[in-house]
Structure 1
């Protein structure tokens, strides 16, 4: 009889390890990373996320298995339409959205959604830092629909319930790395434009 290991690699731990370097790079280079971020930086941050998230959400909508994301684009676009950002214009010229992924089973998509959902935790931190400084803009996208903690815990529970075993965990890590890499590439292109 085959012995089953009592300790299996946890998908959340694997995802954190697989994306740590990318996460640190992105956190230090986004438009809101500067200590003196203003409404123009928030505008640029929203445009960056819109260009990144739109193809991801459209791609995910094609599947009836795997994770389901809330419509985060709605909050991004509502914030972009706020009067405090009026006249700031569209995306930087020459910066286009990345292609949506052509690969990926359900585990791969869970990895992509890990990055998207994790960005909501980062948004809550940014909201606390920027809400007073950027008022009267409500920063709806960063604020989210309340505390992101409960949604994050639900997501992690579902992730652990749907991604198990080394092969699926490796696929989830590849999806998460792709999500970070595509956002980093868009951010780098916008900084050069």
Structure 2
């Protein structure tokens, strides 16, 4: 395993486990829970993708347009007639080190999407899963990791780690908000 990825993975492992536990409480087989699951992701993903773009991060990843998932997520929410939630406030991204930390969490979050998509589809063959199946994971994740190791290693560790931690914390907060939400 590459050095920077290993450091990020080890340093954020407790938060990653917390987020996994928070999202495992959603039963994707239940339409209301699937909607809440997507809403929770939308609370974080949309704002962080936009923040990365505003910070100029897309210039570091020439395949950024293929990585953007918010439009797929919004389409799934619309098809489910599920109201879009307000985005959570995210910390400012003032440097590329922070951008790499956020991107590490976002790109890693797509890894479980295929498994979750299969679960959702088994329960309902017509459920929209554009978001969960977005992108070619087998190509996008390794390409991201290669760029992370090649380009991000020269950036300061502390802001990168802090941004990754804050992004995991935002996902956990979003899951908690949706667990507490009731809508018709």
Q: If the TM-score is normalised by the length of the shorter chain, which range does it land in?
A: 0.7 to 0.9
Partner of 1:11: 4
The 1-side partners of 2:177 and 2:31 are apart by: 20
Partner of 2:126: 136
The 2-side partners of 1:187 and 1:138 are apart by: 20
**Would you tell me which structure has more helix in proportion to its own residues?**
2
1:59 is displaced (CA, Å) by: 1.2
How many equivalent pairs are there? 175
TM-score scaled by length of structure 1? 0.80
Which of residues 156, 161, 168 is equivalent to 2:145? 156
The 2-side partners of 1:190 and 1:43 are apart by: 9
For the pair shown, the structure with the greater C-alpha radius of gyration is: 1
Superposition RMSD in Å: 2.2
TM-score scaled by length of structure 2? 0.83
The 1:10–1:136 alpha-carbon spacing in structure 2 relative to 1, beyond 3 Å, is: same
> Does the 8 Å contact 2:43/2:88 carry over to 1?
yes
Structure 1 runs not aligned, ≥5 long: 1-8
Partner of 1:39: 31
Cα offsets for 1:76-112 (capped at 9, x unmatched): 0111122xx23x4454xxxx42223224411211110
1:123 is displaced (CA, Å) by: 1.0
The 1-side partners of 2:42 and 2:173 are apart by: 14
Partner of 1:4: none
The 2-side partners of 1:90 and 1:175 are apart by: 25
